[in-house]
Amino acid sequence: MKPILLLLLSISLISCADKESDSGDPDAGLPISEKVNKLLAQMTLDEKIGQMTQVNKSNLLKESDIRDYYLGSILSGGGVAPPNRRATGWADMVDRFQGYALQTRLKIPILYGIDAVHGNNNVLDAVIFPHNIGLGATRDAALVERVAKITAEEVAGAGIHWTFAPCIAVPQDERWGRTYEGFGEMPDLVNELGAASVRGLQGTTLTSKTSVLACAKHFVADGGTQNGKDQGDVILDEETIRTIHLSPYDGAIGAGVQTVMASYSSINGQKMHGSAYWLTSVLKNEKKFDGLLVSDWAAIRQLPGSNDDQITNSINAGLDIIMLPDNYKEFISALKNLVETNKIPITRIDDAVRRILTVKYRLGLWEKTKTERSLTGTVGSDAHRLVAREAVRKSLVVLKNDNNILPLSKSRSSILLTGSHGDNIGYQSGGWTMEWQGGSGPITKGTTVYKAIQKVVGENSVYFIEDGTEVTAFQLAIVVIGEEPYAEGAGDRTDLSLKSSDVAMIKSFKTNKIPVVLILMSGRPLIISNIIDDCDAIIAAWLPGSEGDGVTDILFGDYKPTGKLPHTWPASMSQIPVNGPSNGISVQFPYGYGLTW
């Protein structure tokens, strides 16, 4: 019996060792640089190119292509999700994809990336935080770090390793459709809060189970395009670009950000994805960024020339990972040919792959090949929602409060709540929520302003009518209006005026002598000069996300407002762009403005 027992024990130990080698780091005791050099020396050109290729989940022709093409990373572009959109469904999918990566010869794990830009906003029932413009109004770096930390936990709980956040743009023109993705118009504010976000996402130890990779984007000057045109041209001298748009990257790099995403936009006519000066000379060499540089979605296709020219110019400029929604097989074949014909030097390929592997080792990815399921159950938890509620109330900026109408009494018995945004989680959350462009209605779990007010005054004391134009008798009208959701270029506007129907409704209340408290939900300042005198109080609530209770915390006086404007508020479209000191221009409200009581 003893020989048989020894044989069984030996088989068992060998089996365990094989299982560990499938997912563990076989060189765990070595310094990261030695691990990377050892692994890189074993890699074929095909394996190296695979690491540089990122494919969108919905364009993955076969899941087994992860194994067969040695793909180094997968992403879910805005709205791309598994059939089960809750955290468990995401975790199951990512774990399955990772299984294919671990079937490759060298068993290099994939990175899975997602745009978790205000919470893990693609995952059903995850907490949705205020967009960055609201966080900028808080002026609270410690809070921003806590928000990012919770976002990281909810991203990791869904099996995901990498979020394409924070956006540390410095928006200079509110016509830009991505204005709300930046923390504000001043580089010092963006620098401070961008660094805080990186610290929260990546944690003090990247190998922690609750840490994910941050991505500072979009390098560089995406917020400075002419007329606020998305993906447009930045026509500025280098000193101005460095002072306004480059300086916030100092905070992110100083905080240890591991990834940077290049911008779609151009500087003085040259597309950023083809600029060796900005990507390599400035970012990698001058700024000492030692992480990986990723392209934006199919952005290399905006470069001039043929497909080969686009690949050659972008990689030689310094891009390490190319985000390709589709046609990845053609890309892989073309890149291999370009290397073999010396259009792209193998040293540039090795540099890119070395950076990719280094970041994967720093993250401890070989020990994170399965989702930490203890985190999965915390996605959308009450504790996380309390932090989001705090972020909402600290983000609200009181712009007007005539006769101290605010805070409201909780004993009011006849409140009219009206407006398109009063009972709509989708509108309350804005773009990048469940879908790329956002949506309308109960698209995910949350508390609308209407439900939050009901909790405070009782269900029978507040009445919701979406269009209150015909109402003639109420003690008070709380009007919640703003912008419908949008993202990126779909949000570019030449006119930031309120809807004529909303203006007419507000004026009808004035005619009927009904006091008006206006709550604006928007991704930027809107032109309100034509209704400001018709409102007794005005609150800029930005895009607060899923926790409407944070609005009533201020509305009914449980907390004093502390929010300050992260953007100068123009009085008319002709004043845009106006940033910081208004130089004698009579703006509606200056940068940093915000009332309290």
Per-position DSSP letters for 121-183, written without gaps between them: TTSTT---PPPHHHHHHHT-HHHHHHHHHHHHHHHHHTT--EE---B------TTSTTGGGSS
Q: Are residues 460 and 528 in the same domain?
A: yes
CA-nearest of 496, 495, 534, 530 to 514 is: 534
Query: Which pLDDT belongs to residue 554?
Result: 98
Pairwise CA distance, residues 174 & 493, whole Å: 8
Pairwise CA distance, residues 422 & 425, whole Å: 9
User: Does the residue 183 lie in any domain?
Assistant: yes
Q: Are residues 409 and 449 in the same domain?
A: yes
Query: Which pLDDT belongs to residue 25?
Result: 85
DSSP string for residues in 495-521? --BPPHHHHHHHHHHHHTT--EEEEEE
Query: Which pLDDT belongs to residue 3?
Result: 41
- Mean pLDDT of all residues in 300-327: 97
Local confidence band at 347 (pLDDT 50, 70, 90 cut-offs)? very high
pLDDT per residue as tens digits for the range 236-249 = 999 999 999 999 99
- Name 87's Cβ contacts closer than 8 Å, sequence gap at least 6: 120, 123, 125, 126, 154, 157, 158, 376, 379, 380
Q: Are residues 319 and 250 in the same domain?
A: yes
Pairwise CA distance, residues 23 & 15, whole Å: 13
**Dihedral, CA of residue 352, residue 353, residue 358 and residue 363, to nearest 10:** 100
What are 310-315's contacts with CB under 8 Å, separation 24+?
311/335, 311/338, 311/344, 312/338, 312/343, 312/344, 313/273, 313/274, 314/273, 314/274, 315/52, 315/344, 315/348, 315/349, 315/352
Query: Which pLDDT belongs to residue 325?
Result: 83
Cβ burial 261-272 (10 Å sphere, 16+ → b, else e): bbbbbbbeeebb
> What is the overall mean pLDDT for the chain?
95
C-beta of residue 294 within 8 angstroms of C-beta of residue 320: yes
Tell me, rounded to whole angstroms, the distance of Cα 379 from its chain centroid: 17
Query: Which pLDDT belongs to residue 269?
Result: 98
Pairwise CA distance, residues 400 & 443, whole Å: 32
Q: Are residues 70 and 175 in the same domain?
A: yes
pTM value is 0.95
Q: Are residues 359 and 220 in the same domain?
A: yes
- Using only the alpha carbons of the chain, give its radius of gyration: 26
Query: Which pLDDT belongs to residue 7?
Result: 35
Q: Burial, 167: exposed, middle or buried (Cβ in 10 Å; 0-12, 13-18, 19+)?
A: buried
- Mean pLDDT of all residues in 314-332: 96
Pairwise CA distance, residues 208 & 292, whole Å: 20
Query: Which pLDDT belongs to residue 132?
Result: 99
Cβ burial 26-43 (10 Å sphere, 16+ → b, else e): eeeeeeeeebbeebbeeb
Query: Which pLDDT belongs to residue 1?
Result: 38
Q: Are residues 94 and 63 in the same domain?
A: yes
Query: Is the pLDDT score of 15 beyond 50?
Result: no
Query: Is the pLDDT score of 453 beyond 80?
Result: yes
User: Does the residue 55 lie in any domain?
Assistant: yes
Tokens representing 470 are: 């015909």
Which of 326, 345, 376 represents a domain boundary (last residue)? 376
Return the number of other C-beta atoms located less than 10 Å from residue 123's C-beta: 30
Domain containing 491 — which CATH number? Answer: 3.40.50.1700
Residues with a catalytic annotation lie at 296, 488
Query: Which residue(s) pair with 267 in the sheet?
Result: 234, 270
Domain containing 59 — which CATH number? Answer: 3.20.20.300
Strand bridging mode 215-219 / 266-267: unpaired
C-beta of residue 165 within 8 angstroms of C-beta of residue 197: yes
Q: Are residues 369 and 402 in the same domain?
A: no
User: Does the residue 1 lie in any domain?
Assistant: no
Pairwise CA distance, residues 380 & 424, whole Å: 19
- Mean pLDDT of all residues in 574-581: 94
Residue with tokens 């409060």: 401
Query: Which pLDDT belongs to residue 413?
Result: 86
Q: Are residues 322 and 403 in the same domain?
A: no
Pairwise CA distance, residues 435 & 88, whole Å: 19
Pairwise CA distance, residues 395 & 564, whole Å: 8
Local confidence band at 583 (pLDDT 50, 70, 90 cut-offs)? confident
User: Does the residue 581 lie in any domain?
Assistant: no
User: Does the residue 446 lie in any domain?
Assistant: yes
User: Does the residue 592 lie in any domain?
Assistant: no
User: Does the residue 207 lie in any domain?
Assistant: yes
Pairwise CA distance, residues 187 & 205, whole Å: 27
- Mean pLDDT of all residues in 330-350: 98
CA-nearest of 72, 161, 70 to 368 is: 161
Q: Are residues 165 and 282 in the same domain?
A: yes
C-beta of residue 66 within 8 angstroms of C-beta of residue 112: no
Q: Which domain holds residue 78?
A: 21-376
User: Does the residue 3 lie in any domain?
Assistant: no
Query: Is the pLDDT score of 385 beyond 50?
Result: yes
Residue with tokens 């792959």: 353
Which of 376, 406, 440 represents a domain boundary (last residue)? 376
Q: Are residues 241 and 176 in the same domain?
A: yes
Return the biggest CA–CA distance within the chain: 98
Tell me, rounded to whole angstroms, the distance of Cα 36 from its chain centroid: 30
Report percent pLDDT > 70 for the chain: 96
Local confidence band at 11 (pLDDT 50, 70, 90 cut-offs)? very low
Query: Which pLDDT belongs to residue 27?
Result: 84
Q: Are residues 462 and 351 in the same domain?
A: no
Query: Which pLDDT belongs to residue 6?
Result: 37
pLDDT per residue as tens digits for the range 293-309 = 999 999 999 999 999 99
Report percent pLDDT > 90 for the chain: 93
Query: Which pLDDT belongs to residue 520?
Result: 98
Query: Which pLDDT belongs to residue 316?
Result: 98
Query: Which pLDDT belongs to residue 2?
Result: 40
Local confidence band at 575 (pLDDT 50, 70, 90 cut-offs)? very high
Return the number of other C-beta atoms located less than 10 Å from residue 59's C-beta: 15
CA-nearest of 488, 392, 433 to 167 is: 488
Rounded to whole angstroms, what are the CA distances from 202 to 274, 292, 360? 29, 15, 13
pLDDT per residue as tens digits for the range 92-144 = 999 999 999 999 999 999 999 999 999 999 999 999 999 999 999 999 999 99
Three-class SS state of 104: coil
pLDDT per residue as tens digits for the range 165-217 = 999 999 999 999 999 999 999 999 999 999 999 999 999 999 999 999 999 99
Query: Is the pLDDT score of 530 beyond 80?
Result: yes
Query: Is the pLDDT score of 86 beyond 90?
Result: yes
If one compares 22 and 82, the residue with the highest pLDDT of the two is 82
Which DSSP helix (H) or strand (E) runs through 400?
strand 397-401
- Mean pLDDT of all residues in 364-384: 97
Pairwise CA distance, residues 496 & 529, whole Å: 11
C-beta of residue 436 within 8 angstroms of C-beta of residue 77: yes
Which of 343, 376, 409 represents a domain boundary (last residue)? 376
Q: How many domains does the chain have?
A: 2
Q: Are residues 338 and 460 in the same domain?
A: no
